[in-house]
Structure formats: C-alpha cells, structure tokens
Amino acid sequence: MRHAEMKGLFLVVMVVLLGGAVGRVQAADQEVTIKPVGNQVRFGTEEITAKAGSQLKVIFDNIATNPGMRHNFVLLNVGRDDEATIGQVGIGAVQAGEAKDYIPDHDAILAHTTMADAGERVEVEFTVPPPGDYAYLCSYLGHYSMMQGVLHSVE
C-alpha cells in the first residue's frame, strides 16, 4: 500500500471511530442497582452516595416473585425527615393511579422510574442534585411509608 493510500485509510478509520463515539449516548458516571428485599415492601439498598452534578443511573431490579409486589424508584428533593411532603407524594400517587403510573404531579419529584412488575427491571438516569440528603421511595399503593431510602449527594 502506498503512503497516500495508508493516509486515506487512516482517515476513514478515524471518521468511523469518531462518528461512533458521537452517536453513542454518554455513559453514566455511576450506576447503582437496587432490589427489593424478596417479596417485602422494602428496598434492599436504603442508602446511595453519589457526587453532586454527576450522572447517576439507578437500575431497579424487581426480584419479587409475588405479582402484587410492584415497585418503582422515586427521588424527592426533600430529606426523609420531611414526612409531610413524603406523605403528599405517597397519597398523591394512589390518586394518580395506574393511568399515571403512580406518579403524582408534585414539585418534590426530581426523578423516577416507571413501575416495575415482579421480575422486571427499570432504570432512570439523572443529574445528582446539589450536596445534601434526598429521600427516595416506592410510590406503589401505600408502599411509601415502608419503602424508603436516602441519596447522599456529596461534593
């Protein structure tokens, strides 16, 4: 192969590689997989730590086998001590019902997955909010009071 041909081939390869990189969705900075505790109304992971401003992907792997154990992951912009807001979201979710996938129209909701049936995996990617503690919960029918955790956002 002549030098000019080699150069041409190199360019084609570079364009293909770069084109592929641009077309790909940027990977999350961190991934965390959360499962329920068997068929209980409880998150197996009740604490997550992530860097403020980074991209976090939360995968909710609903390993429950009881079909009634539907769950999701809903992140709020309040701490776990803000029971009033958590209650509003939890009760609002019941009112929102199946038609709205148990996601009420509430300002406190920062991110959420869709509802996962038993055996189903869902995920959501979001930018970690400024440093602080943020409650997360499952908004399926009354689960919010037992199924909660906290995201620690750190510098």
Determine if 86 is a binding residue for Cu ion (CB under 5 A): no
DSSP string computed for 61-129: E----STT--B--EEESS-TT-HHHHHHHHHHHHHHTGGGTT----TTEEEE---B-TT-EEEEEEEPP
What is the pattern of x (binds Cu ion, CB under 5 A) and - over residues 94-133?
----------------------------------------
Nearer to Cu ion, 71 or 112 (CB): 71
Among 92, 143, 144, 153, interactor with Cu ion by CB under 5 A? 143
13 DSSP assignment: H
| Integer Cα distance of 82 and 75 in angstroms | 13
Q: Which residue is nearest to Cu ion (CB)?
A: 138
Question: Is residue 137 classed as helix, strand or coil in its secondary structure?
Answer: strand
Stretch that binds Cu ion, among 5-13, 51-59, 99-107, 142-150 (CB under 5 A): 142-150
Task: Tell me the backbone φ, ψ of residue 13, rounded to 5 degrees.
Answer: -60, -45
Tally the C-alpha atoms within 13 A of residue 56's C-alpha that lie toward its C-beta.
Answer: 25
Nearer to Cu ion, 75 or 153 (CB): 75
Determine if 140 is a binding residue for Cu ion (CB under 5 A): yes
Stretch that binds Cu ion, among 51-59, 69-77, 80-88, 121-129 (CB under 5 A): 69-77
Among 74, 86, 138, 151, interactor with Cu ion by CB under 5 A? 138
Q: Minimal distance in Å, beta carbon 9 to Cu ion?
A: 55
Nearer to Cu ion, 39 or 49 (CB): 39
Interaction site with Cu ion (CB under 5 A): 71, 138, 140, 143, 147
